[in-house]
Structure 1
Amino acid sequence: MGAGGAVLILVVGVILLAVVAAGIILLVAAGAVRLSGRNPKPLFWSGVGVLAVPVLFVAVLVTYAQLTGDPDTISLDLREPVAISSLPEDGESFVGMRDYDSDHIELVLPDGERFEADVDGVLVWSDDGYVTRVTFDRRAREAGEAADLAADWENELGGAGTVEIDPDYSDHGRVRAAVLADPTP
């Protein structure tokens, strides 16, 4: 995130805090009016309305982030060239690469076989607007899982992909795999 994004977040945060403070002041004033014996309803409902603004703003922001964030599953058919523009948008696009925090991958390999796996992340590499390679990884959660997972992925990917184990990652290692795609349209 650039400096402009950080400033925007800071400004929006200050505005939301000011709105919350104004709502609380109105509710406290409504309580004081009630103690004096007068009608506190206008101040009370004004305070509730003012407090509803930041709540609705945050709810809309969270919903938007859920709808536009990383997809849970990356699905690609690698039998034909895949245009990078056909992939879901993400928050971390770099020239030649998209980084997804997806937790599942579904591939149709160039030979027509299907491959599915639970993963910790997916990188989609591209050149000239077409996918050239898909890499994904998964951290082993228990002892011995990395070797078993690597063997399973090697078997399921066949000659379409490469699999390697990073034994020094975390407590139990990590398995990484790469599948090449033909970018020729």
Structure 2
Amino acid sequence: MGAGGAVLIIVVGAVLLFFVAVALVLLVAAGVVRLSGKNPKPLAWSGVGVLAVPVLFVATLVVWSQLTRDPDTIELDLREPIRLSSLPEDNEEFPGMRDYNSDRIDLVLPDGERFEAEVDGVLIWSDDGYVTRVTFDRRARDEGEAETLGATWEAELDGSGTVDVEPDYSDHGRVRAAVLADPTS
């Protein structure tokens, strides 16, 4: 996340906290008015209405994120250590490795560049509970695609990973790639 995203989160958080504070003041004022024997309903309803704004915003954000997320995409930021326990568990797990049948991979490489690709599967390797390597592959769908895809991945990974092209695999070949993650950075 960039600096602009962090500033946006801080601003939205401050606005939501402001709404909560105003709502609490209105609700406390309603309680004070009630103790004085007057009608507290207008203040109480105002407090509930103001409190509904941040609650509805957060609920909408949660529902929207669940609807728009792609569960078949493995997303990892390799600039920082990644705990294996933080990864989704709807997959096969073996000692030191998780096997995902993912359709896409979205990596932030150690140099900060982004790598996205359609894949047929992702293996995530670990040691001492931290991700150490990510490997992924894709079978070529058309004649000659393996070589082209291999060159594309190699250029996009730009030294952050290795690419291996197997032109004789299956019908049209397969491309495999591996990106190392430094669990101590």
Q: TM-score range by the shorter chain?
A: 0.5 to 0.7
| 1:180 paired residue number | 180
Aligned pairs for 1:102-181 within 5 A: 102-181=102-181
Given that 2:77 and 2:108 are in contact with CA atoms closer than 8 Å, whether structure 1 keeps it comes out as yes
| 2:98 paired residue number | 98
CA distance in 1, matches of 2:72, 2:91: 14
Aligned length in residues: 116
Q: Deviations for 1:45-103, whole angstroms, at most 9, x for unmatched residues? A: xxxxxxxxxxxxxxxxxxxxxxxxx9300000000000001100033100000000000
CA distance in 2, matches of 1:91, 1:102: 10
CA distance in 1, matches of 2:71, 2:120: 12
Deviation at 1:117, TM superposition (A): 0.1
CA distance in 2, matches of 1:141, 1:151: 16
Structure 2: where are the runs of 5+ without partners?
A: 1-69
Structure 1: where are the runs of 5+ without partners?
A: 1-69
Task: Determine helix, strand or coil for the equivalent of 1:175.
Answer: strand
Task: Determine helix, strand or coil for the equivalent of 1:159.
Answer: coil
CA distance in 1, matches of 2:163, 2:137: 9
CA distance in 1, matches of 2:137, 2:106: 13
Letter in 2 for 1:161: G
Letter in 1 for 2:129: G
CA distance in 2, matches of 1:151, 1:141: 16
Letter in 1 for 2:175: V
Letter in 2 for 1:119: V
Given that 2:147 and 2:167 are in contact with CA atoms closer than 8 Å, whether structure 1 keeps it comes out as no
Deviation at 1:166, TM superposition (A): 1.3
Sequence identity percentage: 78
After the TM superposition, list the runs of 4 or more consecutive aligned residues in structure 1 that deviate by more than 3 angstroms: none
Given that 1:71 and 1:88 are in contact with CA atoms closer than 8 Å, whether structure 2 keeps it comes out as no
Given that 2:164 and 2:177 are in contact with CA atoms closer than 8 Å, whether structure 1 keeps it comes out as yes
Deviation at 1:105, TM superposition (A): 0.1
| 2:3 paired residue number | none
TM-score normalised to the size of structure 1?
A: 0.61
Aligned pairs for 1:38-49 within 5 A: none
Task: Determine helix, strand or coil for the equivalent of 2:152.
Answer: helix
| 1:76 paired residue number | 76
TM-score normalised to the size of structure 2?
A: 0.61
| 1:34 paired residue number | none
Deviation at 1:123, TM superposition (A): 0.2
Deviation at 1:184, TM superposition (A): 1.2
